[in-house]
Each structure stands twice: as structure tokens, then as C-alpha cells.
Structure 1
Amino acid sequence: MALNNNEIRKKELEVYNLYLQKTGLSPATIKKLELSPEDVAKIITKMTSADSTLRLFTNAKKETRDNYLKQSVTIREQGFIMVALTMLDAVQAWDIANKYAKGIRETNDHKKIAYTLLADREKTNKGKLKYLTEASKCLEEALKATEGESISILKVHQASLNYDLALLHDTKSKEKKLKTALKMVDEALKTLPGSQAHRAWPLPIKAKILIELKLYDKALKVLQEAESCIYYGYEEEQNKNKQADMVLSVWTTGIALQMALLHIKTNKNTTARIYLSAVINCPDAAGVLANRKLQAKNLLKKLEEPSKEN
């Protein structure tokens, strides 16, 4: 059966993403892709060529830069994180060359998200720390170019990073980092820009911090507030954001993931499975929920582990 254009594009991105991982294109992997070595070579040549759609030059117009950034975010949410990082590096080069301070902050924010997603996929603490360190560097660069209301966005990113780092520490250090993260996200929520629906991005981050601190009732209220923000802020987000469908999907499934985690932590495994299944089976024609679906599958796998031992 012949592939349609969207399927061809997805296959090309998959190959290029593996290529950027350096060790990702083993003979066994190529076989799984159902491609010949010659096909793989052609795809890599196409994706790395000077006229590739994955290229951005520093003399491009700002509109081209903005559209390219949006494309990189979509590709990141589709799960092709290494490709997205390569594109974000190109955006960053444009921002520096054109002295676009707001863009430097914005690009580093997106790079931080990409690195934390890579950390999330690592199985060892050493691997996680490697990518979280890169995420920290991105936040440091963003801070240098940040002012005004953008500070609150940066605080959300810092809170999220502190949470991830806290999980790698012992109990005493962990609790201290979690409380610092909680304070940061609370401060950010006071001045967060954007629609009401935009609050559904940091609220699940606050909830997962509360869950780790075993403040389950507070976490539940925060997640309910996040759902309310999506409901009442939906139209405003749709009217103001050209990527509204993508961000609303990502934010809503983010709420569902933390709701599942809350149910797991409080031994409500039956309902946790329902939330996780909702994310895994969520219709996703654009493929922008790849990261969320992977997170849900990993949580479901952990949920099933105790039953395997019994």
C-alpha cells in the first residue's frame, strides 16, 4: 500500500531523528523501519540539504523565523525531539544574529522543554541528569534575555526543572527542592500571561509537586482548577492562538496524566488506568501527542509491575 504525504513526512522525520541520535540507525532499526539502506541514505541527504524545509538562514524574514519555530514545536510534540532541537538551534542562531532578545528567551524555553522530554525517556539517573543539566543551561540563557511578564513563564520552567531534579535526590534534599519548585510556580501563576486556558500548563506542574509532597487533596483541587481553566478559556485560546488545537490537546492530556498519577499514588489503580487509557487512545491525527502517549504508556507499565510480581 502506497504511503500518503503525511505518512511519508513522518517516516522521513523518524529516520532523521534516529540519524541525529548518532547510534540510532542500526541495521536492526533500519529493518524495523521497512526501508532499504539506500532509502535511508536518500532521506538523510534530503533532510540535510541546503534547501530542506528544516533549514533556516539568519537573513530570513522574521515571519519565516516565527513559522519555523512553530514547526519545530509541532515536530517536538510529535516525538522527534532531536530534529526539533536541531531546528531550535537554527532559530537561536537567527535570534542572536538579529539581536532578537525576546526570541532568545522564547527559543531557550522551547529547548528546555525538549531536553526535559529527553531526560524523561532516559532509564538511568545519570542519563536523566545529563539532559536536565542541558535544560538548566537553557534556562540560564533565557534569564539573561528575560524581562516583564516573561519572568513568570521562566519561573514555571524553573519549577518544572526543580521537580525533575528533586526526583534524583535523597529525601531531605528532595523535599527542599520540591518546596522551592512549589513556591516558584505559585509566584508564576500570579502574573502568568495569556488566556485562562494557558493556566492549564503550569497547574499540572504544581499538582505533580504536591503529589510528590503527599499533599493529595491539594493536588486534586489544583487539577480540578486546571480542568476549569481549559473549559472556560477554550474559546479565547482558539481565537488568539493559531496552534490552539495542539496546545489545548497537550495541556488537557497533561492534566489527565497528573490525575492518573494522583490516583496511582492513592491506590486507585482502576481509575488511574482509565485516565491513562484516555491519553493513549486519544485521537491524534496531527501526531502532536506522541510525548504524552509515551508518558502514559510508561506510567501504565509501572502500574502493572506490582501485579507481575504477585
Structure 2
Amino acid sequence: MLNKIALLLFLVITACDIKRDNSENFPSTKTVSKTSLVILGTAQDAGYPQIGCTKSCCTNKWSDKNSTLVTSIGIIEPKEKKTYLFEATPDIKFQIKKLSSYIDNNSIQLPNGIFLTHAHIGHYTGLMQLGREAINAKNIQVFSMPKMFDYLSSNGPWNQLVELGNIDLKAISDNTEVSVNSNLKITPFIVPHRGEYTETVGYKIKGPHKTALFIPDIDKWEKWEISIEDEIKKVDYAFLDATFYKNGEVGNRDMSQIPHPFVEESFKRLKNMTSNDKSKVYFIHFNHTNPLLQKNSKAQKEVINLGFNFAKEGLIFEL
């Protein structure tokens, strides 16, 4: 009898643990009642684990069924039953499914619009899933800056999406607000980042009550003519580039060739901000080498102890 009771308790505890663990990689989806922003991915362009990586940062992740998706955020407009996606990542099919489920768990709804930041692989290549080899979408609005607009219009395979009417390119411009509807305003702004094909932008997202800053890629804060401190003060949430935690993190490459603000540099840069402003910051866009991807790591604890936050898939922020 005691053995049966012990077994029952073990099964109950195990079930609770499973539920808790799954909740950390996209919590059980619930429909939302207010305009909200959701984190759909937090990894650098190549995802986590990263292709070919046999280092300690990735070895355990290969056997983990819950891989970390590439950085993306989504906006949910429950009253209008509309969704908007920021970035078209290689993981777009999973992210669209998750985003649409916040409105209706029983269907998969394509987003009403997609906002792109630039033409690096983790930020736009998911558009191919909208083509005739996949879902053969109809006129999905894709908001693009001038160089990105021309790039998608003039180069294969992307121009085929335009020609077949899978996507409907919408031109946007630097610091010009896009009024999506009465509840949602989106403003792109150019940031310094290597631009082999297109410019790079961040976005300011204005909901009915709150605002958010989304800058997944930038070279260094010092290269931007705008003060990141001032921009943080103007918003309620700031999702900022944290590709690398510190210099030397990628041992086999010259990190000056892949410039990003190291998290440790951001600590120093933002150290004099108020605790309220620091709490707005959510680091995002983690390379596979970044210890912020490691649960309960020293890096995660350091971020929290210093008054900042790090993004997790499934976090929801009311706008």
C-alpha cells in the first residue's frame, strides 16, 4: 500500500515538474483580452543550438526537444482578431502558430503584417515559407525600408513572392510613423549595423497605453547618434541587442568583425540610470555562446541583480 502511495506521489510530482518545464518554452497558451506584445524567440540568427556546434554550450541542447527559436516578437490585437509579426525568421512557422493561438487555439492564422529589420538570415529568410512551395500566402503585408523594398523586389527568390502575390510590400521610412490602426502605431528608425544588402532598423511600438523599443541588432551604442539612455526613458519596455555577453566569447573569430554591444558594455553604459528605467530593459538576440541562454547561469543572475531583465519565449507585455 505504501509503495502504491509513494508511486502515486512520484507521478504527481513528475507531472507538475513537466508542466513547469514546458511552461518556460512557450507557456500554455491563453487568449489575451488586451493589445499585447509577446516574445516569440530570443536566439541569434542561427538559433540555439547552432549548426555544427559541439562545444559545451550546445551539447546538451541537441537532445533537448525544446530548442530556442530565433529572435522575434509579435503583437496581438484581440478585439480585431489580428496579429503582427516582427522579423520573418527561419522559425516562422512555429512563431506564426504560437502567435495566432493567442487569439484562437483551434486555428493557425497568418499575420496581418510583418515588419522587417534587415537582410541578415535570421530576420527575413522565413519569408520563403509564404511562397507556393509552402503555404502560398495571399498578399501578406510586409513592411520594408527603401533598400529592403528594392532588395526583395529585385532579387530571387524574393521577387517571386512579390510577383505571385504571396506578399504585398509596403514601403516605410526612417522615423515616419505607420498607423496600423487606432490602437497601434509603429515607427522604424535606422541604426548602425553592417548593411551588405539593406539598411537596419529598430522599431518603436506604441500601443493604446504603453510603448516598446525593439533593437535586436546594432553595432555599438557609441556608433549611434541617438542616446540609448534617452530612448529607454521614453518607453515602457526596451528589447535590446545582447548577442554576446562579453568580449572573447567567440574564440575562433575576430569579434571586431561582428560588432554588437556586449552585455557587459551595456551594464557600464546604463549603470547610472534609475532602477525604474533599468527594469524596462530586456536583453534579447543571444548567440549560442551567450551564457544568458543557460538556465540559472551566473550571467542570468548578474543581469537580474543589476536591475535588468532577459527575454524569454512566451513572455507577454500589455501595450
Larger RCO: Structure 1 or Structure 2 (Cα < 8 Å, ≥ 6 residues apart)?
A: 2
Question: Normalising to structure 2: TM-score of the pair?
Answer: 0.29
The structure carrying a bigger strand percent of its residues is 2
